[in-house]
Amino acid sequence: MVENRKFGWIECICGSMFSGKSEELLRRIKRGVIAKQKVLLFKPTIDNRYDENRVSTHNGNTYESISIEKSADILNYVKDKKYDIIGIDEIQFFDNEIVKIINNLADNGVRVIVAGLDMDFKAEPFHPMPEIMAISEMVTKLHAVCNKCGNEASRSQRLIDGKPAKYNDPIVVIGASESYEARCRHCHEIER
């Protein structure tokens, strides 16, 4: 029998746009609420597609959240309080300091659940997600359905006026179905 069992770990939910990452994050958060655990959910201020103070899914599911500019802002909310679960949506939009912060939270007994894109629109690693995936105890990679062929989609296709974005376009452009499609490896296009 283990008497000094420690709690705290990191769960990473990743995948392309429209794969259900935020939906899965909210599902896990709501299970924590049902279990009467103390929960706090964050999202980056830059993601204001649906609601400024709620994490929202593409199908309309929502949960109250705190919008923050930079990862260090999390520390202002948790310094004097004890939370069982900290959730972070769209974690790829935070600075690299987020890796240290979530690691510290987990070391101090918090179940940290994060969700974000693992690849940018060019199908290249979207930092700091590779680092977060490496330190996570659990990684769940979700897939969408390819808008062109119907296969498993692992990539986010950015479209500008209906055409693939160019390789040198900015990495971060906030949008939903008006700017992005889910695509498989073979249907994903990038204009070079």
Whether 3 is catalytic is: no
Report the C-alpha gap between 160 and 172 in whole angstroms: 14
- Active-site residue, selected from the candidate residues 90, 131, 178, 191: 90
How far, in Å, CA of 142 to CA of 28, rounded?
15
The token duo for 51 is 């609601």
* Residue type present at position 28: R
With CA atoms as reference, report the closest residue to 120 among 155, 70, 163, 90: 155
Helix (H) or strand (E) holding 157: strand 155-160
Reduced to 3 states (helix: H, G, I; strand: E, B; else coil), residue 29 is helix
Q: Cα–Cα distance between 51 and 45 in angstroms, integer?
A: 10
How far, rounded to the nearest angstrom, does the alpha carbon of residue 63 sit from its chain's CA centroid?
14
CA 177 to chain centre: 17
Catalytic residues: 90
